[in-house]
Structure formats: structure tokens, C-alpha cells
Structure 1
Amino acid sequence: MTDLPHYDFVVVSNRLPVDRVIDADGTERWQRSPGGLVTALEPVMRASHGAWVGWAGQPDLDLAPFDSDDATLVPVPLSPLEIEYYYEGFSNDTLWPLYHDVIASPSFHREWWEAYVEVNQRFADASARVAAPGATVWVQDYQLQLVPRMLREQRPDLTIGFFNHIPFPPYGIYAQLPWRKQVIEGLLGADVIGFQRVADAGNFSRAVRRLFGYATRTPEIRVPDGLGGHRSVIAKAFPISIDVESFEQIARRPEVQQRAQQIRDDLGNPSTIMLGVDRLDYTKGIRHRLKAFGELLGDGTLAVGDAVLVQVASPSRERVAAYMQLRDEIELTVGRLNGQYATISHSAVAYLHHGYPREEMVALYLAADVMLVTALRDGMNLVAKEYVACQLDEDGVLVLSEFAGAADELKNALLVNPHDIDGLKEAIVAAVRMPQRERTTRMRALRRRVRDNDVARWSATFLDTLRHANHHSDAR
């Protein structure tokens, strides 16, 4: 692979931005993946024609690099065992619950850690091979926290950024990780480490001080360079966002607006459609949402026919035990609510356990009067921003967990503590009964905030910080 072209801009993430699809006639093709990261980075890749290094999503696929949508994709192969240990194991059964406030108990297995190190090294090697001299490499998310240091050891000429899309926990929680020092060392290989919230960046800096004693002066961390000097690492918040313009364009399309009306008709034209859109994940607070809604039906505050909850729960990590258990619990709860409260003509909960194309999601956003985002812990939650972007008529109410990163920006939402079921019920009732004038005032402010801080601004701000940060290291 020594004759690979070299690129001035390289994105490194666990997954490539495409999925491999085999049609009924056996034809193989690649289609763009859903998901926040792909959506967020698509405009940047389009502008730079860079390379994207990532796993192709299926085991034992050893593919040559190929072009797709203005980017060169560089697949990194993973074996079934590596998927089990590095991805399902260490990434999603160790780091994910640990970084989300131990909502579920993390598992600590040495063989998972060893696979994580090995796979991170493979990603670093692939990135080093395609990066041009002096290139900018932007590493994404918690699955690849060791890559920045591995890259710096191979290619000190590179400018390296890292963005953590999920929360970074307080030290008392982070300290449980047996490999806590190695992960911090991996991240400190970057020139700029981005987080969703100011609190996450603060948690990281405190962990650095506690574990290594390095001097930190927000947002700067002074890291020994091994040559008697220091490097300056920037650790700060860069709240991620969405491509607002693309959502607005879809929301303006007549056929999407007609589909939104059809959704209302199909649901029996209730007074209020409440919507939840989540991956089926224990961090998303779906159980709390269903409990609050069920109690409102039970005490007669809301009535089936007047109000319906549409819950989209796209499949996620279906081989991880905690996710299998969660799916059973949610489906039992939905079945109980519908059995208890549904009528022949109206459901209490319309539960949809699959993903949808973007156009259908926009139609759902347009149809919904109230958006429920009740995450117990979330790095950002782009669904909240997508809903706001689609409300062209400046109507609709966003009920938003204060534990989602989006709460730092979207202060005109109804902010809730999802653990407080009574408080959540009060917020839902306030949303349902909110006067038109207040709905418009709140949504107008939310839309202005989302438009002013779109994904282009997120990436431009991060990359601008990265360009400047690289010039502030101590002279040798």
C-alpha cells in the first residue's frame, strides 16, 4: 500500500461514512450511512476531497481504498473477534457506560483492552500511510482514543485533532478505568481535543492534573514533548451541530409536508402528537418518557385520541446484553400501555423499532407538536437540533433533558431532569397546553440559535483552532 495517494486532510472514525448493500440481483453498492457524525462531516469532506479512514461495517472485509462522494475511503479490516472485543466489548460495554455516568455497569476485561490497543494501532497505521507531509488528521470519538499518540509517534509532522462526541466523565467515575492513564496519554497526542460541553473539557483537564500533574490553564495543557520542552494541547468545548440548510430544504418540499399531514391522519388526527426519536439505548431515557406518559394517561390528564406518543427507536448494538434487555423492557412497557389505554381506533404509543430515511424523519418532525428528548446523559443530541431546524412555522415545543449537551445552547426549550418523573410530567403538560404566542417566541429563539451555530461553524471553528494551536508548541 506504499503507492497510495496522500491527502492533506484525513478523517479517522470507527466507521466509514457508507454502508455496503447487496441488492436482490447480487449487485454490490455503497450507500451513505445515517447518523450524526456522517451528517456533520459531510460538508467538510466535500470541500476538501480528503480521505476517510474507517471500518466498512462487516467482518473480514479487506478492501482497497475507493472513491465515494468527493472523498477517498480507506477501509480498515476487523475480524469477528476484534468486533466482539474492541467494538462490542471495550468500546460499547466498557467505555460507553463508564462515560455515560455508569447508567449501566461497565465491564473491565484485559483481553478487550488488548484488542482495543491493537485495533487503534491499525487505524493509526492506515492514517499515517495516507496522510501527506504536514497533513491535518482529525480523529473522531471514543473508539479511537489511543490513535492521536500512536500517530504522533509515527508522524510528528502531522497536525492532529481529536473530537469526543460523547461525554467525558468526572474524575471519580473515570478513575474506575484500569487503563485510565493510557487513554489520557493517547488523547494528549492530539494538538486540539474537542468536547461537546465546557464541563466535559473541565473533567478531562482535571483527570490530566490528577493522573499526571501537568500544568493546565484553561483551555491549555502543557505536555512534556520528550525532548526537554513542552507541547501545548488545547482541550475545550466545540458543541457539534447539524446541516441546518439541508433540513430546512427537505422541510419545505411539498411531498414531505404532505407526508407529515398523512402521518397525522394515520394517527387519527389527535390534538397533540408527541415524538421521541432515539437509538434504542439505555442512556436515552426512553423508559422514563414512557413512564411519565403512562401516568398522565392513567390519571386522566391526557386522553388517548387527544394525545399520542410516537416513539422511533432505531436498533442499536443488538448483540450487547444490556441492549437486548432494554429492548425487551421497552416492548413490554409499550405493549402494556397500549393494552391498558388504546382504543379500537387509537393507539396510546406508536412504537417503531427501525431506522428511517431523512425525508421520513423530517415528515415526523413536521407532524409532531411536542418533541421529547429525555436523555439521562448525552454528549449533544442532534435530534433536538434537527427538530428545531424543521419548524419553519416557528411552532412546536421541545422538551429537553438538562443532561444532554444541547441543553447548554437550547435554553428556550422546556428543560427537565428526566429522573424526576413528576417534573417530566409537568413539562409534558406545559408543552401540550402552551399558548401559541409562547410556542412561537421559544421556537423562534431556538431556531436562531441552531442556525447561528450550524455544522459548518462547528467544523470551521475546530479546524481553525487546530491550525493555530499547532503553531504554539515550544520551539525546540
Structure 2
Amino acid sequence: MHGSLGTLLAERVWSPVTKADFVVVANRLPVDRAPEGQGEGGWRRSPGGLVTALEPVMRSVDGAWVGWPGKADLEVAPFDFDGTRLVPVTLSADDVEQYYEGFSNDTIWPLYHDVIAAPRYRRVWWDSYERVNRRFAEAAARTAATGATVWVQDYQLQLVPKMLREMRPDLTIGYFHHIPFPAYGLYSQLPWRRLVLEGLLGADVIGFQRVADAGNFARAVRRLFHYETRASGIRVPGENGTSHVALAKAFPISIDAEHFADLARRPDIQARAVEIREGLGNPKKVLLGVDRLDYTKGIRHRLKAYGELLGDDRVSVEDVTLVQVASPSRERVQAYIELRDEIELTVTRVNGDHDTLNHTAIRYLHQGLPREEMVALYLAADVMLVTALRDGMNLVAKEYVACRVDNRGTLVLSEFAGAADELGTALRVNPHDIDTLKDTIVRAIEMPPAEQGRRMRAMRKKVLDNDVAKWSSDFLKALAQAKARS
């Protein structure tokens, strides 16, 4: 790359033929269409976790971002946004239905999340996935300068690394897998299992959230291909007797922790946290869940545990309120439609059984919230409930910890979330074990301030020391080493 990754580069004028030394390839561009009269050139930055994670990286490099603009059949020429070249990839309505809603989110997502919901295997979806991955690879190949570094993101684009290597052998290619990678006994169900592994093995560095995920991947490669593996390196044979080493290892993703801490120190956000508690009737304890509305997040288990605690008279609605934020997700996929109906029915039932005229058991919000409002909620919450049934990382857990500048609050954290590997002083739970989950919630509610402080300080040090800048730096260092070896 030209210049240093750690140095902001001078603003440059892009032309249609300008090539980028660093290219991110992701399913979505980091922007959404803005309401008329708002945003930069009709666009505004997306609120998603990947965008948040990569935002500091893209600010510091001579880069471009290849992705879908988020609307079917929308054709947009490459454009600049906030110092980054954005290269839109057009998807038809059929592409969205088959590649994205179908193969990505009705085949890969449930399969890779331990078959919590049953995956569906349809050949027409696979054909679309292959076609769309090629379209992304071609856009990246056109955008990347000679010898550039390309960083492919996540499960929607698992075939892109190999396709890119075939089109542009001069590139250094990284791939990061944001979701879990399943054990071979589950992965082996996939009819196209060899082709997906071959796609991933096109990368020089393949990053995973957890050591266990990297191990599952390496074991699948050994079972299906018998390739030589040493430490984290997998020797992948190429054409004419050539080969390359693909490094497969864990790079746990994180957040811009200082940014969240700075927001948490703002007087207006602290005042908003007080307002939130007042609006809830000033209960003694506020429990909080913040999730995408997804069957992997364990929202049903959390609501069941809290409802039973109320029913058992172990907590009272006057003293303990649960706030559940469930942002809309994949609203055209049947499993998600059914999940929303089930959760809203549960909330209605619990509230009907336990509400009083002055207190609501569960305050349920089916909407996304601005970051400042989320930080105020984190400050208002005494207990954060992360009860995922399977999660690659779960950045909400890290956001809550980063915001607790007062070293108060308690994190109840599923052992099946990647964050559990790092946040060792959280109260870890198996969300399937409802009785123990209930006991753990009560323990969190009753935890003395001194113990809260001890646990939170240890977690805050971990999150602040291992922030998103370190995540991206570690991954890009591994890519630079791969480039030096080639």
C-alpha cells in the first residue's frame, strides 16, 4: 500500500479509472439512502456492526469499498463518501431473493448457527450465490490497483477469494468470517461443501471470531481435501505445481471502545439515562436486552426466564423492569416473520399477567435506535442480558462494558457467544438452562457494588486494550506478512 495505514491520507480526487491500494468487499455498502435533503450526496452512513468496525480502518487508508447499495435493481455509478470510494454492485430482485434471502440467510446462516433453525438446500439458490459472488469478485478485480490488498467480509461472499485469486493473482487477499463456523458433523450437510471451502482457501488469511471456529474450518479442510496443515497454515495446491499457504486463525472483532466511553461521559447522554429510568417508573433494577430480531439471539429464552421470575414472585414488576430492543431483521424471511409474532405474543402475555397501572414488566421496542440513545440505555441498565444461542462475537456485550465508565452494572453473557472467550468476569450462562438462567439473573440483580466493580474493571480493561483498531491492525499485519512471503 502507498503510505502508512496509521496516517490519514490527503483527500484525493477520484476518477472512473482510479485504482485503490486497499479494497473492502462486503455484501452491503457502508451507506443507506438518506431522506431527501439529508446526508452527503443523498447517502448516510449505515448503523451496522461491520460498518462500525471498519470505519476507523477506512478512514486511515487509500481505500475503496465494493458492495450492494441495499435496493434491488438500483444502478449507481461509483462515488465518493466520507473520503472512501464506494463501488456499487447491482442486485436484481431475483438476486436478493435467491442469493441473499435464500442461500445466505436460509441456508448458510442457520447451518452455521448450529441448525437452531433448519437450513434449506435449493440448487437455484446456490446457482444465484455463485453468480452474485462472481459479480462481486469482478467489481473488486476492476477496482484494485496492481499488488493491492483486498479484504473480503463474511458468509455472503465465501466464493470471492478463490475467484479473485484466479482473476488477479497479484493481489493479497484476506477474508474475515463474522459468524460461527460449524463443526464438521453439521458442515458436512452442505451439498456444496467442497466448493465453499475451495472459495475460502483462495484467501491468504482467513480470519475467524474464535479459536474453535478456526479449528472447525481446518478440520473440515483436512477431512475433505487432506491438505497439509502446520500450526494455523494450510498449504493449498494451485495450478502447474504451485501452491500458497492460507493462514486460518482467530482474530476476535471488537468496537471503537474509546468512542463509546466518550459518549457515556457526555452530560446530555447521562441526563437521558436518568430520563429513561424515570420513564420506566424508577424501578430498583433495569434489565436490558439489545439484539437484532433473530432466532440465534435467545430472546425467547430471556423472556421466558424473566416471565417465570415474575410468576414465581422472585422479582416484582415494581422493582425490576426488562427493556428489550429488537431491531428489525430479514423481514421477508418466513422464520423471522414467525419469530416476531412469537416474541410479541410472549411480551403481551407477560405484560398482561404482571403489569400494574404504574409499571410495565417488559418495555419492548421493535426498532433500531441511534447510537446516542443506545449509550443512554446502556447507562440506564443495571443488568445487560446477552443470551445468544450461538453468536460469532456479540458486540453489544462489548459496547455495554465500554460504556460503563462508572464500573457498575452486571453482564450476563451466554457461553455460546464469542465474547465469552474474552469477557471472563461476566456471569456466564447456558441460555437453554432456564432454571440456571433465572438464578443468574437474580444473582446479577443482587450483586453488591464492590463485586460489580471488580468484574466490570477487568472486562473494561480487556475491551479497551483489544479494540477495533487492534483487531484490524492484527489482521492487516497478518496480510502484510502473507504478502511478504509471496
TM-score w.r.t. the length of structure 2 is: 0.96
1:273–1:307 contact (8 Å) kept in structure 2: yes
Q: Which residue number corresponds to residue 402 of structure 1? A: 415
One-letter amino acid of the counterpart of residue 295, structure 2: Y
User: Shift of residue 4 of structure 1?
Assistant: 2.3
1:191–1:466 contact (8 Å) kept in structure 2: yes
Which string of whole-angstrom CA distances, capped at 9 and with x for unpartnered residues, describes residues 385-421 of structure 1?
Answer: 0000000000000000000000000010000000000
2:387–2:412 contact (8 Å) kept in structure 1: yes
Q: 1:234 aligns with which of 228, 240, 247?
A: 247
Q: What CA distance in whole angstroms lies between the structure 1 residues aligned with 2:26 and 2:117?
A: 25
2:40–2:81 contact (8 Å) kept in structure 1: no
Q: What CA distance in whole angstroms lies between the structure 1 residues aligned with 2:125 and 2:165?
A: 24
Q: Which residue number corresponds to residue 331 of structure 2? A: 318
User: Within 5 Å, which residues of 2 pair with 1:428-439?
Assistant: 428-439=441-452
User: Within 5 Å, which residues of 2 pair with 1:374-389?
Assistant: 374-389=387-402
Q: Which residue number corresponds to residue 100 of structure 2? A: 87
Q: What CA distance in whole angstroms lies between the structure 1 residues aligned with 2:318 and 2:23?
A: 52
User: Shift of residue 469 of structure 1?
Assistant: 1.8
Q: 1:281 aligns with which of 287, 291, 294?
A: 294
User: Shift of residue 218 of structure 1?
Assistant: 2.2
Q: Which residue number corresponds to residue 39 of structure 1? A: 52
Q: What CA distance in whole angstroms lies between the structure 1 residues aligned with 2:409 and 2:82?
A: 35
Which string of whole-angstrom CA distances, capped at 9 and with x for unpartnered residues, describes residues 168-207 of structure 1?
Answer: 0000000000000000000000000000000000000000
Classify 1:26/1:294 alpha carbon distance in 2 versus 1 (closer, same or farther; 3 Å): closer
User: Within 5 Å, which residues of 2 pair with 1:438-449?
Assistant: 438-449=451-462
Q: Which residue number corresponds to residue 268 of structure 2? A: 255
One-letter amino acid of the counterpart of residue 463, structure 1: L
User: Shift of residue 49 of structure 1?
Assistant: 3.4
Give 5+ residue unaligned stretches, structure 2: 1-13
User: Shift of residue 26 of structure 1?
Assistant: 13
Q: Which residue number corresponds to residue 465 of structure 1? A: 478
Report the RMSD for the aligned CA atoms in angstroms.
1.4
Q: What CA distance in whole angstroms lies between the structure 2 residues aligned with 1:49 and 1:211?
A: 39
User: Do residues 68 (structure 1) and 84 (structure 2) align?
Assistant: no
One-letter amino acid of the counterpart of residue 81, structure 1: D
1:232–1:472 contact (8 Å) kept in structure 2: no
Q: Which residue number corresponds to residue 359 of structure 2? A: 346
Q: What CA distance in whole angstroms lies between the structure 2 residues aligned with 1:2 and 1:234?
A: 35
What secondary structure is seen at the aligned counterpart in 2 of 1:227? helix
Which string of whole-angstrom CA distances, capped at 9 and with x for unpartnered residues, describes residues 346-379 of structure 1?
Answer: 0000000000010000000000000000000000
Q: 1:158 aligns with which of 143, 162, 171?
A: 171
Q: What CA distance in whole angstroms lies between the structure 2 residues aligned with 1:390 and 1:26?
A: 27
2:110–2:117 contact (8 Å) kept in structure 1: yes
Q: What CA distance in whole angstroms lies between the structure 2 residues aligned with 1:69 and 1:251?
A: 25
User: Do residues 177 (structure 1) and 190 (structure 2) align?
Assistant: yes
Q: What CA distance in whole angstroms lies between the structure 2 residues aligned with 1:262 and 1:49?
A: 43
One-letter amino acid of the counterpart of residue 7, structure 1: A
Q: What CA distance in whole angstroms lies between the structure 1 residues aligned with 2:207 and 2:184?
A: 18
Q: What CA distance in whole angstroms lies between the structure 1 residues aligned with 2:59 and 2:37?
A: 31
Q: What CA distance in whole angstroms lies between the structure 2 residues aligned with 1:305 and 1:353?
A: 23
Q: Which residue number corresponds to residue 392 of structure 1? A: 405
TM-score w.r.t. the length of structure 1 is: 0.98
User: Shift of residue 470 of structure 1?
Assistant: 2.7
User: Do residues 418 (structure 1) and 431 (structure 2) align?
Assistant: yes
Q: Which residue number corresponds to residue 22 of structure 2? A: 9
Q: What CA distance in whole angstroms lies between the structure 1 residues aligned with 2:366 and 2:216?
A: 35
What secondary structure is seen at the aligned counterpart in 1 of 2:241? coil
Paired residue total: 473
Over the matched positions of the two proteins, sequence identity in percent amounts to 69
1:13–1:141 contact (8 Å) kept in structure 2: yes
What secondary structure is seen at the aligned counterpart in 2 of 1:119? helix
User: Shift of residue 226 of structure 1?
Assistant: 1.6
Q: What CA distance in whole angstroms lies between the structure 2 residues aligned with 1:3 and 1:445?
A: 49
User: Shift of residue 27 of structure 1?
Assistant: 11
Q: Mean Cα displacement is larger for which, 3-12 or 233-242? A: 3-12
What secondary structure is seen at the aligned counterpart in 1 of 2:60? helix
1:19–1:56 contact (8 Å) kept in structure 2: yes
What secondary structure is seen at the aligned counterpart in 2 of 1:395? coil
User: Within 5 Å, which residues of 2 pair with 1:138-157?
Assistant: 138-157=151-170
What secondary structure is seen at the aligned counterpart in 2 of 1:53? strand
Q: Which residue number corresponds to residue 370 of structure 2? A: 357
